[in-house]
Structure 1
């Protein structure tokens, strides 16, 4: 088996207006390489977006650097990939729900993680329990915010805080 397996991350972004509760963050998944050496580390973002006129829609897009982005707040490693094409097919197959006011991006991410866990073949080592992952990610970003990590004037193009739930340690402060 390859020792440099790609990683699956939970990524949190500001939600674009909501200041608290469940709607505080926009949730997405990122796939990127284990080794993050170099000026930029390309990867792919998978998420659902709520378009004002069209409702919720699935989106996947290449990102120039999975470590950074002007709106990225933090990443949390939740799995090592075993079969990337299988994982991507599983993400693409996740339902997108319109017409339910309680359904949103975090719902999609939580259900996607549950589907990955049920599949059992697309990832290896993993922490896919949505209750654990969501609570940890919220606390992690809150701690970083309280410590001034997202203070005005900070270079938002620099790598963002990243925690590896599999190893139980921060890999980017």
Structure 2
């Protein structure tokens, strides 16, 4: 039986990491922080028509099944955005969000929320794609991107 639960992904981009939530046709929202030279670090919620094919996305990593989307979004919105700390990055925000999701215990069900494990798997997955030439050829940048399922520990063929 196929589940209709939304999924939470960590998405790796060349300039950093953001996270995406998706459905089957894959409209979704990118929840992330970015560093603007004019305003500093800002939190964003960006609706996307198709989270599987944003142009500069390298890979997605499935990390959780969403149980309560409203609760999850509130967690994201309440994670501190730090200014003027040269050590603070989008990865810091994401690690803090994952910790808050874990403490909450109700926003997601089956999950892998350990940032150190997620980051290691995600970086290794990107490295395998780089080694295979995934980003060198004239691949259509609008095609679905490589996806790793941390819950099943296998690649999901887009």
- Band the TM-score falls in, shorter-chain normalisation: over 0.9
Structure 1 length-normalised TM:
0.88
| 1:123-134 alignment, distance < 5 Å | 123-134=108-119
Quick check: 1:75 aligned with 2:75? no
- The aligned residue for residue 70 of structure 2 is 85
CA shift at 1:95, angstroms? 0.3
Q: Any idea what the Cα deviations from partners look like across 1:27-48, whole Å, max 9, x if unmatched?
A: 1110001x34xxxx21000000
User: 1:127 & 1:48 partners in 2: Cα distance?
Assistant: 21
SS in 2 for 1:112: helix
Quick check: 1:169 aligned with 2:145? no
Whether the 8 Å CA contact 1:28–1:48 is kept in 2: the answer is: yes
User: 2:83 & 2:19 partners in 1: Cα distance?
Assistant: 20
SS in 2 for 1:67: helix
Whether the 8 Å CA contact 1:47–1:105 is kept in 2: the answer is: yes
> After the TM superposition, which segments of 4 or more aligned residues of structure 1 sit over 4 Å from their partners?
none
SS in 1 for 2:52: coil
Q: Which 5+ residue runs of structure 1 have no aligned equivalent?
A: 16-25
- The aligned residue for residue 100 of structure 1 is 85
Whether the 8 Å CA contact 1:159–1:172 is kept in 2: the answer is: no
User: 1:152 & 1:50 partners in 2: Cα distance?
Assistant: 30
| 1:141-152 alignment, distance < 5 Å | 141-152=126-137
Structure 2 length-normalised TM:
0.96
Q: Over the residues paired in the alignment, what is the CA RMSD in angstroms?
A: 1.2
User: 2:96 & 2:157 partners in 1: Cα distance?
Assistant: 27
